Amino acid sequence: MYTVIFDLDGTISDPAKGITRSINHALVELGHKAHPEDALLQYIGPPLATTFSELAGITNEAALAHAIELYRERYIPIGYKENHIYDDMKHILSTLASKGYALCIATSKRRDIAIKVLEFLNIDAYFTQIHGCDVDRSKSDLLREILSDPILGNNALVMIGDRDIDFLAAAEVNMPSIAVRWGYGNDREFELATETVSNPLDLPNAIERIAQQSTTKKQ
């Protein structure tokens, strides 16, 4: 059994409306002007602390926590539902699970919010473990947590995501990664990944290739 770790936003589902509108809600509440939603797409994936530090110039820890609280004031009751799963992704999750892969989530979202999203998309049952960052943990921390699991960690295989933080976290723990082009990353970020795929239907073959390479190295 191999463990396959997925990012959530921009990898499994498109959360653009909910995230960008919730960012603007927080900015307006803080006395800033709202941004065009297209201009906020680059902030899908990175931690919220980074987002509000860049957009509002906030560096104080308490002020950042307040900005994130304002973001979640809209996102938790409304924004997480402004989200849709990418075409063919549910089929891919089902296919991987049927092949015996253990599927996990490692997201910059708070864990309880990630669970709400997965339940809303009706795909929570596919995942063995769900790990979230919140403001005090990095994505590499999540991968180390999975690697420390006595069962999953012995078979950890690959991190799948759309942003550089996914691939950098994987590299930090010596794990291969797959970049997905349908999310919010760019070619510069994709260069950090072990492989890149352009369609969800390409994921099983890419995972199999990495699994074979991993098996060969262990022999």
pLDDT of 215 strictly over 70 = no
Between the CA of residue 100 and those of 2, 77, 120, 159, 203, what are the distances in Å? 7, 35, 24, 17, 15
What is the sign, positive or negative, of the torsion defined by CA atoms of 202, 203, 204, 208? positive
What does the pLDDT read at residue 213?
80
Domains and CATH numbers, the chain: 3-14+85-218 (3.40.50.1000), 16-81 (1.10.150.240)
What does the pLDDT read at residue 102?
95
Q: pLDDT tens digits for 60-75?
A: 999 999 999 999 999 9
Residues 125 and 206: their CA atoms lie apart, in Å, by 23
Tokens found for residue 48:
């919220």
Axis-axis angle for helices 48-56, 16-29 (nearest 10): 50
Candidate list 7, 9, 162, 164, residue with the active-site label: 7
- Nearest one of 24, 30, 62, 58 to 43, comparing CA atoms: 24
Active site residue 7: yes
Q: pLDDT tens digits for 102-142?
A: 999 999 999 999 999 999 999 999 999 999 987 778 999 99
Evaluate whether 10 touches 162 at the Cβ level (below 8 Å).
Answer: yes
Mean pLDDT of the chain: 94
Evaluate whether 24 touches 34 at the Cβ level (below 8 Å).
Answer: yes
**Model-level pTM greater than 0.75?**
yes
